Structure 1
Amino acid sequence: MFFKLRNPKSYVGIDIGSSSVKVVELSKRPEQFELLNFSRIPLSENIVILDSIKKAIREAKIISKSVNTSVSGKSVVVRYISLPKMTKQELKSAIKFEAEKYIPFSVQDVVLDAQIIGEALEDNKIKVILVAAKKDLIEHTIKLLEDCGLEPSVIDIDSFAIANAFQFNFNFENDNSYVLVDVGARLTKINIISKDISYLTRDVEIAGDAITRYLSDKLNIPFDEAEKLKCNPKEKEELVREACQFAMEGLFNEIRLSLDYYESHFEKPIEAIFLSGGTSLLKNLDKIFNENLNIETKVWSPIKAIKVGRAILNRGLPEFASQFAVSIGLALRSAQ
């Protein structure tokens, strides 16, 4: 599911997050994909996003101009709807009229896409993923990249890019259901998938910054100091664990609601939760998820099935690869 702008010419994925810009470049070899380079540039209130994107491109030594990126947040709506059985071409014509019933924006103000998922239902209907992104968000994203001298080929949705990377690396053939939870700085993306199909997608505004704010308030220290403590707790490991537990409680409740909805509508249990995103790197976060949701939880790597050269390995990428799930999934859109 993505908004395709032109035929892609390269395998570059750019993830413009709330706390950093992450860039990867892939190449396709006869037997597998290879990660050529990557970069991550932190963002702050005093840093212009445009400059950070340019710096990320320079540091990754990317020459290609064609790139893929993605959007998320309140200006993006994903709905799962049922429609009378129709062809893909008929869906393309009908979706503008159907969308009015399901999205909180005027259809004149959004870019729409839709995709049929699974087989036709018994009542001669089809399940459809409807995606609407506000035009001003899409136009802003395109302009941002063009001002950097880049040519956006695809604009995807964060959750679908993550699912793309996950399915490429693990390729589960069974009927089991999995929850992909990408915990960033300000936003957590939840996506329940089974057999390469996304059945529920949500963005929740509870993420890593909530942990940092808890530490900042608890210790009466600046946000930046609390962020450093969160990432490197040393002797305050128990306090950081307490912060994770307290700050994530609202997120756990939202995940429980999503699980209850999925299991009641599709009558399929959840096999496991897979964590990604920058906050997934926090020590014991997977265990905290496991304890609160009573579901096996793992941090996964989006480069598991991708060849990584020694030079990149020496930069320690495997240790923090989970925060590149979006950018890897975006690059794979062109490379697959």
Structure 2
Amino acid sequence: MDLFKPKRIVSIDIGSRNIKITLLEKKGEENYLKNYSILSLPEKFEYGGFVSFQLEDEVIAQLIGWALREAGISEKNVILTLPFSSSFSKVFQIPPIDTRELKKAINFESRKYIPGKFEEFMTYWEIFKFHDDPKENWSVFLLAFPKTFLEKYSKVANLGKLKVKGFYFENTCIGKLLESPEWVALVDFGHLNSIISFSSKGQVKYSKILSLNGQKLTSLYSTVLSLDFLRAENFKENFGIKIGPENKDLQTSVISFLNNFLTEIEREINDFEKANRVSVEKIYFYGGNSTLKGMIEYFASFFKERKVFILNPFLKIKYPKDLEQIINKRGLLLATSLAAGYCFLNS
């Protein structure tokens, strides 16, 4: 137990459209959301995004500082999430050696796969077995993130006089909010990237970026309706896929898009099940596009052989009663920030 670890942490998730901030506190065995902020990026930045590093460090620091002040958050200890799209990932095997030798073996093997000098990357890995078999190889899910990018994040925090206590990949902590003993698929239907991950017992053990995302869906609305991108985004958020018969062409195009998206998810699940001799019966969706009107109902109708859910990021995190209304409306946007904060406080 780390007696000097902060019991309160600000978790910052900088996405392509929003900056999501949560203030979490641990009391005994309980975790509490004390405050939060969701800051929509200015229109001129919105479709570039921090993930592509198009914003100046000073601008990002100012935006975060403004969001913290507006929410009344004075805590200076922070963690930041790292975009999976900017990382390198690999799953590899290690023979069933003594557990005391694993760390040394993983560090040795990792050097073979990282595309560059090992010292130039921050690495993270999960080690596991798919089955309770002493003869089975260890599987390692490796993630590596360029330290040059980490310097940008650190500079942003320093400009805001914040104290960085850690970095967490955006996709690796979500499983901790469920800790399901069975294998589940976690799908982040994001704006610039959609990510599918597979988790068991709280560990995310494989992730992959999918080919379709919310931005491409908005582009479809824009093309069919002859609207500029921002108006198309507003239309999508207002109506979702409950478009109505007066927009039959759009309805047909959107359903085709979703079928392609969900077919890709089903294919990834089937491949994962076959390769590892496991069963994935549940799919949890999160990310802003998952909550569009009619979306989850359509997902459920598509996956007839699997159970479909919207992820509840508050299964292990309590929040004040006066936040309930806004949490019900926008809480899913906080999922990645909440998960990273939970990981920090409970590791």
- Closer/same/farther in 2, CA of residues 106 and 254 from structure 1, 3 Å limit: farther
Partner of residue 195 from structure 1, selected from 192, 195, 201: 201
Give yes or no for contact 2:84–2:171 (8 Å, CA) kept in 1.
no
Question: Does residue 302 of the first structure (1) align with residue 300 of the second (2)?
Answer: no
1:166 corresponds to: 178
2:51 corresponds to: none
Any gaps of 5 or more consecutive residues in structure 2? 46-58
- Closer/same/farther in 2, CA of residues 197 and 113 from structure 1, 3 Å limit: closer
Alignment of 1:279-294 (within 5 A): 279-294=289-304
Alignment of 1:40-79 (within 5 A): 40-44=38-42, 46-47=44-45, 48-79=59-90
Aligned partners of 1:264, 1:106: CA distance in 2, in Å?
A: 34
Aligned partners of 2:169, 2:100: CA distance in 1, in Å?
A: 22
Aligned partners of 2:144, 2:86: CA distance in 1, in Å?
A: 8
Question: Would you say how many aligned residue pairs link Structure 1 and Structure 2?
Answer: 324
Aligned partners of 2:204, 2:169: CA distance in 1, in Å?
A: 12
2:53 corresponds to: none
Give yes or no for contact 1:12–1:330 (8 Å, CA) kept in 2.
no
Partner of residue 226 from structure 1, selected from 232, 240, 243: 232
Secondary structure in 2 matching 1:237: coil
- Residue type of the partner of 1:177? W
- Closer/same/farther in 2, CA of residues 199 and 30 from structure 1, 3 Å limit: closer
In angstroms, what is the RMSD of aligned CA positions? Answer: 2.6
Aligned partners of 1:334, 1:124: CA distance in 2, in Å?
A: 31
Aligned-residue offset at 1:312: 1.5
2:159 corresponds to: 147
Comparing 281-290 with 99-108, greater Cα deviation is found at: 99-108
Partner of residue 185 from structure 2, selected from 176, 179, 189: 179
Question: TM-score by structure 1 length?
Answer: 0.86
Alignment of 1:1-336 (within 5 A): 7-8=5-6, 10-30=8-28, 32-44=30-42, 46-47=44-45, 48-86=59-97, 90-118=101-129, 122-123=134-135, 125-167=137-179, 172-173=180-181, 176-233=182-239, 237-238=243-244, 239=247, 242=252, 244-294=254-304, 295-314=306-325, 316-336=326-346
- Residue type of the partner of 1:318? N
Aligned-residue offset at 1:249: 4.2
Aligned partners of 1:73, 1:166: CA distance in 2, in Å?
A: 20
- Closer/same/farther in 2, CA of residues 49 and 78 from structure 1, 3 Å limit: same
Give yes or no for contact 1:302–1:325 (8 Å, CA) kept in 2.
yes
Aligned partners of 1:306, 1:286: CA distance in 2, in Å?
A: 23
Aligned partners of 1:108, 1:335: CA distance in 2, in Å?
A: 28
Give yes or no for contact 1:244–1:285 (8 Å, CA) kept in 2.
no
Question: TM-score by structure 2 length?
Answer: 0.83
Secondary structure in 2 matching 1:216: helix
Greater RCO (CA < 8 Å, at least 6 residues apart)? 1
Any gaps of 5 or more consecutive residues in structure 1? 1-5
- Identity among equivalent positions (%) equals 25
Give yes or no for contact 1:192–1:201 (8 Å, CA) kept in 2.
yes
